Amino acid sequence: MKAIASRTIFGLKIKLTDLLILGALVLYSLLAPLFPSRVRGSWSGLILANGLAVLIFLGTNLIAQRTPSRHLRFFLRTLSVQLILLYIYSASLRLQLIFFPHWHDQIVVDLEASILGIQPTVWIQRFVTPWLTEWMMFCYVFYVPVYPILSLLIYRRHGEEQNENYLFFIGLAIVLCTLGFMMFPVAGPMRHIGDLHTVPLRGYFFTAASELLRGRIHTPGGTIPSIHCAAATIMWWTAYRYSRPAFFILAPVILSLYVSTVYGRFHYVFDVVVGIAAAFLTMALGPVLIKAWNRFTLRS
């Protein structure tokens, strides 16, 4: 994969990953005042928060680019990108009903019933056991540290430029998913058909951790496409490109993660399919965008 070129603006090297991140935050800031009553919370507060996130992100990267330490530069760059992608996800949740004021869950439930003849999050309850639940929730939670672990692996073996490619592809997948939240807002199984989930999910440490995430962080929405499935697919594909041992080690975790999103009642099956499709769209679109950006940057 070709390295992503950079363009210096006001002393700061801007790469395609930065353009993607800044573009998403500018877009979300412009959308907020269009339908202020449809923004979760204060629309002006969202714009201010977006602006602060941009300043912190640019400031951190300015420090990273000026540090003589290659390792510190990697740490600051990777940390700032991955944290602001998390912020973009949370900011997008406040805009999910910006175009359509109602959730579309019933459409998904009816579609799955017509194709599968069942509601998968309800049907899968027959397999619920504490140890299976613990494994599923481990896979669901372990996805989070895979982000930086893969970055470190790529950096150590292939350098900063290839890590930048990884950050861009992860970022593109996440931004595409957040746009999907707005184009087809779905609240999720727990919100729409929660009364049908009669078997409690009991497990151990990772089950408790996932339930803590559900109770403290998860809000209605963030469903289609599944960011978990989209990003995990990009991670798995990246591991295949840069480290075959990591690819095979991650295989049971990633495959189980797809199932865990339905088993844990976080997503419908439709969300998983669309999330994986978003990852493949990212894989196809990413190289085209990199090529266009490099051509534009080098000619300017």
The whole-angstrom distance between residue 38's C-alpha and the CA centroid of its chain comes to 23
Q: What is the pLDDT of residues 265-280, one digit of tens each?
A: 999 999 999 999 999 9
CB atoms closer than 10 angstroms to residue 64: 19
Residues making up the chain, counted from first to last:
300
Distance CA 272, CA 259 (A): 9
Place of tokens 């339908």: 35
Please report whether residue 169 resides in a domain: yes
Domain extent at residue 243: 6-299
Structure tokens at 271: 């969300």
Distance CA 178, CA 86 (A): 11
Q: How far is CA 254 from CA 39, 83, 261, in A?
A: 33, 22, 11
Q: What is the pLDDT of residues 227-259, one digit of tens each?
A: 999 999 999 999 999 988 999 999 999 999 999
The pLDDT score that the predictor gives to residue 204 is: 84
Please report whether residue 131 resides in a domain: yes
The pLDDT score that the predictor gives to residue 206 is: 84
Q: Specify whether the CB–CB gap between 96 and 185 falls below 8 A.
A: yes
* Domains held by the chain: number: 1
Structure tokens at 88: 């973009």
Sign of the dihedral through C-alpha 263, 214, 150, 11: positive
Structure tokens at 251: 């295989």
Burial of 149 (0-12, 13-18, 19+ CB in 10 A): middle
Q: What is the pLDDT of residues 171-222, one digit of tens each?
A: 999 999 999 999 999 999 988 888 888 888 888 888 888 777 766 666 778 8
Q: What is the pLDDT of residues 80-106, one digit of tens each?
A: 999 999 999 999 999 999 999 999 999
Please report whether residue 1 resides in a domain: no
The pLDDT score that the predictor gives to residue 216 is: 63
Structure tokens at 285: 């679109």
The pLDDT score that the predictor gives to residue 241 is: 92
Helix (H, G, I), strand (E, B) or coil at 6: strand
Burial of 109 (0-12, 13-18, 19+ CB in 10 A): buried
Enumerate residues 6+ apart whose C-beta is below 8 A from 153: 242, 243, 246
Q: What is the pLDDT of residues 50-69, one digit of tens each?
A: 999 999 999 999 999 999 99
Distance CA 14, CA 9 (A): 7
The pLDDT score that the predictor gives to residue 110 is: 94
Please report whether residue 86 resides in a domain: yes
